[in-house]
Amino acid sequence: MGQSVSQKIIAKAAGRDHVEPGEYVVATPNFTVCQEISWPARKAIMERAGVSKVAHPEKVAFVVDHTTSAAMGTNYYKTHKEMKEFALANGAHFFGAGSGLRHLVMTENAFARPGGLIFSDEPNIASVGVVGALNIAISSEVVVTQFSDNNWMMVPRPIRIKLHGKFAPGVTARDLAQTLIRDFSQTDTLSQSCIEYYGPAIADLGLDARQTLLACTYHAGADTALMPVDEKALAYIRERAPDGQYEVFEADPDAEYAFETSYDLSALTPMVSAPPELHNVLPVENFADQRIDQAALGTCANGRLEDLRIAAEVLKGNKIAPHVTFYITPGSREVYADAAREGLMEIFMQAGATILAPGCSTCWGYEGYMDAGEVQISTHQMNYHGRNGSRESRSFLSSPHVVAASAIKGYIADPRTMIG
């Protein structure tokens, strides 16, 4: 029986020729990455275990990406300091507040490469699959990996989803992601799996759009996901990893998949997820005239340059509604700099938006808190009650197109009425 791409990556990391779905193996990752929110608990684990030295610091990254500042009244200043001191003392990679999301830090610095295995503390880092790297989220087990340089893991079930057709104007990868969440999140169809996307539509998708889909895959029920490594992906990685130290895998023709399906991108429309459940996904017109108080663009789903370009396209020459606060959070310093060079930041400021430091920021509620009765439309990953402030506030989720259009109108708006 042939092997899927994810099986080949895991087999290589485990020193095996072949692995089976559901099998437990001990694998050595190419890189391990974690963030600051859970650092105190992980530091306590290390202290109880009596360990203080990272086995291979060149393969470990610590990123301050959730708390983009150490605000007065919080203890995050201690967390930032302690994690920084630990990382630097060990010679590991450290990225301080404002560096951006781990997801982008991994790809921009070529820590994630084709054929590589990444152990992380979050399944949304599946976005590194845009360059053919496989993310396996192991939570606090990242501590074990950092000191032993290997860890056990289960081989996920391979699943294939074919993409064909082209998005209509105003429709993006986020709308596809929310459609997948609607279709599968309340089932076990994608449970304990790695989705391997393929099909002719992928060639028309930029790397940013592909990362959006990968980062949201977990919320549809899968553990992780991969995109094919085509010329777009190779051009990106060659620029950042000129040493050529990577391996591109392709699935064997006789590889078996636990489940297969397909989506026609041309059949999709702008979608909105209504609180408090991610699977409450309906076309945008179902929420027409829903007044909003806040809009937010960013996160690991939609904080990349292409997302900012979409927002600027809608915002240019317009003003944000007087009663709306619009937060825009670039995903990384590189994204911020590129957006500034293109003049996007000027468009945002002229429209009346508030630009925040690169990172997770408003998604998990560190900034942009809402009061009781307030309503938000955002590109966040979650919308349960209390995620962004009062449990009596409400948060709708959608694409950059919908969020930007809604910020201007002051209510949830269909972007197709505002773009060419």
Over range 200-225, report the average pLDDT.
97
Over range 244-251, report the average pLDDT.
96
Q: Which of 218, 241, 263 is the last residue of a domain?
A: 263
Note whether 199 and 85 are same-domain residues. Answer: yes
Q: Which of 24-28, 46-50, 190-194, 390-394 has the lowest mean pLDDT?
A: 46-50
pLDDT score of 40: 86
Note whether 324 and 288 are same-domain residues. Answer: yes
Give the closest residue to 266 by CA, choosing from 177, 165, 161, 401: 165
Strand positions, DSSP E, 134-284: 134-137, 151-154, 157-164, 193-198, 224-226, 259-264, 271-273, 281-283
Note whether 253 and 314 are same-domain residues. Answer: no
Over range 299-308, report the average pLDDT.
96
Q: Which of 214, 241, 263 is the last residue of a domain?
A: 263
Q: Longest C-alpha distance within the chain, in Å?
A: 61
Over range 56-70, report the average pLDDT.
91
Note whether 245 and 320 are same-domain residues. Answer: no
The predicted-structure confidence for 145-174, as pLDDT tens digits, reads as follows 888 999 999 999 999 999 999 999 999 999
* CB burial string 377-392: b at 16+ within 10 A, e below: bbbbbbbeeebbbeee
Q: Which amino acid is at 254?
A: D
Instruction: Provide the pairing of β-strand 193-198 with 224-226.
Output: parallel
Q: Which amino acid is at 89?
A: A
Note whether 253 and 278 are same-domain residues. Answer: no
* CB burial string 355-370: b at 16+ within 10 A, e below: bbbbbbbbbbbbbbeb
Over range 86-101, report the average pLDDT.
95
User: In whole angstroms, how large is the CA radius of gyration of the chain?
Assistant: 21
The DSSP output letter for 360 is S
- Above 70 in pLDDT, residue 288? yes
- Above 70 in pLDDT, residue 6? yes
In angstroms, the CA 79 to CA 38 distance is 9
pLDDT score of 100: 95
Tokens linked to 41: 């608990």
Note whether 302 and 394 are same-domain residues. Answer: yes
- Above 80 in pLDDT, residue 90? yes
* Residue 329 structural domain: 271-417
* pLDDT, the chain, mean: 95
- Above 80 in pLDDT, residue 73? no
CA angle (103 as vertex; 262, 270 as ends), nearest 5:
40
pLDDT score of 312: 97
Note whether 244 and 110 are same-domain residues. Answer: yes
Q: Which of 224, 245, 263 is the last residue of a domain?
A: 263
Cα–Cα distances (Å) from 402 to 50, 61, 78, 313, in that order, read: 50, 34, 38, 12
Note whether 116 and 168 are same-domain residues. Answer: yes
pLDDT score of 186: 97
The predicted-structure confidence for 341-398, as pLDDT tens digits, reads as follows 999 999 999 999 999 999 988 988 888 999 999 999 999 999 999 999 999 999 999 9
Note whether 243 and 297 are same-domain residues. Answer: no
The predicted-structure confidence for 318-355, as pLDDT tens digits, reads as follows 999 999 999 999 999 999 999 999 999 999 999 999 99
Note whether 21 and 52 are same-domain residues. Answer: yes
Q: Which amino acid is at 152?
A: W
Q: How many domains does the chain have?
A: 2
In angstroms, the CA 285 to CA 224 distance is 31
- What percent of the chain has pLDDT above 70? 100
DSSP for 80-117, please give it: HHHHHHHHHHHT-EEE-TTSB-HHHHHHHTT-S-TT-E
Over range 85-97, report the average pLDDT.
95
- What percent of the chain has pLDDT above 90? 86
| CATH number, domain with residue 406 | 3.30.499.10
- Above 80 in pLDDT, residue 413? yes
pLDDT score of 420: 64
pLDDT score of 142: 83
Tokens linked to 314: 């809608």
- Above 90 in pLDDT, residue 20? yes
What is the torsion angle, in degrees rounded to the nearest 10, for the CA atoms of residue 264, residue 379, residue 105 and residue 248?
A: -10
| Predicted confidence band of residue 76 (pLDDT cuts 50, 70, 90) | confident
Note whether 250 and 289 are same-domain residues. Answer: no
Note whether 252 and 298 are same-domain residues. Answer: no
Tokens linked to 277: 């459940």
| Predicted confidence band of residue 32 (pLDDT cuts 50, 70, 90) | very high
Contact by Cβ (8 Å): 318, 401: no
